[in-house]
Structures are given as C-alpha cells and as structure tokens.
Amino acid sequence: MTFPKIISGGQTGVDRGALDAALNKGVACGEHYPEDRRAEDGVIDDKYPLTPLAGAGYRKRTRQNAIDSDATVIIYHTQIVPKGGTELTLKTSISQNKPYLLIDMNVFSVEIASDYILDFIKKYQIECLNFGGPRGSGVPSIQAFTQMVVERAIEKWAD
C-alpha cells in the first residue's frame, strides 16, 4: 500500500505545508483550488498540481476537498477559530460522516503528530487524505510544522 494521496486547496499555511511535503517526498497530491487560483499571497504557484473548481471561492473549495477525500487531518494552533475555513473543514467532515484527526501543534511534537497520522491512515484504510488548517498569516509557523509532520509520516510509512 502506498502513502495516501494528499489533497488541499493550496492556501498558505497547512494546505501548502502538506502539498510541499508530498512534492518533496514524491507522494501523489492535488485537488481543487478556487476558480481564480487565488490565495492570500497571490496566485497559487503552478508547481502545485491543483485543478480549478468552477465557480468556487475559498468556502466551496474547502467543502469540496473535504467531500472528495476519505478523511481529513486538521492541524491547528491552540484553538479552531469560529466561522473560519478550519471550522468549515471540520463541520464538512462531520456532516459527511468522514473520519477526521485534530492535531494541535502546541501540544504535539512532529514525531508524535506523525505517529498519529500513520495510525489514523491505517485505522481507516485511507487512500485520499485532505489537510486543512489556518492560513500562514494567522499562524506563521504552521506551514513549516505541517511540512515536517507530513514528511516524517511519509518517511515512517516507507520504513
């Protein structure tokens, strides 16, 4: 069994950290971005193998990626902000009866978080794993943390 395909919407922060890890480790990745390919830092780089979702802004894209996946990992910092994209990802996972894993970067080290992701993948036999969480502007260190966690999970999977 190969490591699951990693999907996200390409926003700065958790989305990009997960995609960068997949690209660095040769794991399949992709899915949807808003129709205009926008993110908070401008146009999403072409290096990310994402496809436009017709008529979609951030919220529609967020919901669709959660729906298209087998499960979702949400990495956050201290709390999930009400009415934001991270909460929408969680609510969509719940409403679609999809498994989800919450990882607070203030509580778990890279090693522990990567172990939780591996256990989660195995428990639910996940083939397509969505990642969601705050933008980089909200939590500047979350993109690097996510990338390290996902890269470590991929390395452990290969061992």
Alpha-carbon distances of 43 from 28, 32, 33, 37, 48, rounded to whole Å = 22, 14, 10, 6, 11
CATH number of 5-158: 3.40.50.450
From CA 135, how far away is CA 16, in angstroms rounded? 9
* Per-domain residue ranges of the chain: 5-158
From CA 75, how far away is CA 109, in angstroms rounded? 12
- Write down the pLDDT at residue 43: 94
pLDDT in tens, the chain (159 residues): 799 999 999 999 999 999 999 999 999 999 998 888 899 999 999 999 999 988 878 899 999 999 999 999 999 999 998 999 999 999 999 999 999 999 999 999 999 999 999 999 999 999 999 999 999 999 999 999 999 999 999 999 998
- Write down the pLDDT at residue 75: 99
Q: For residue 72, which phi and psi values (nearest 5 degrees)?
A: -135, 140
What is the pTM assigned to this prediction? 0.97
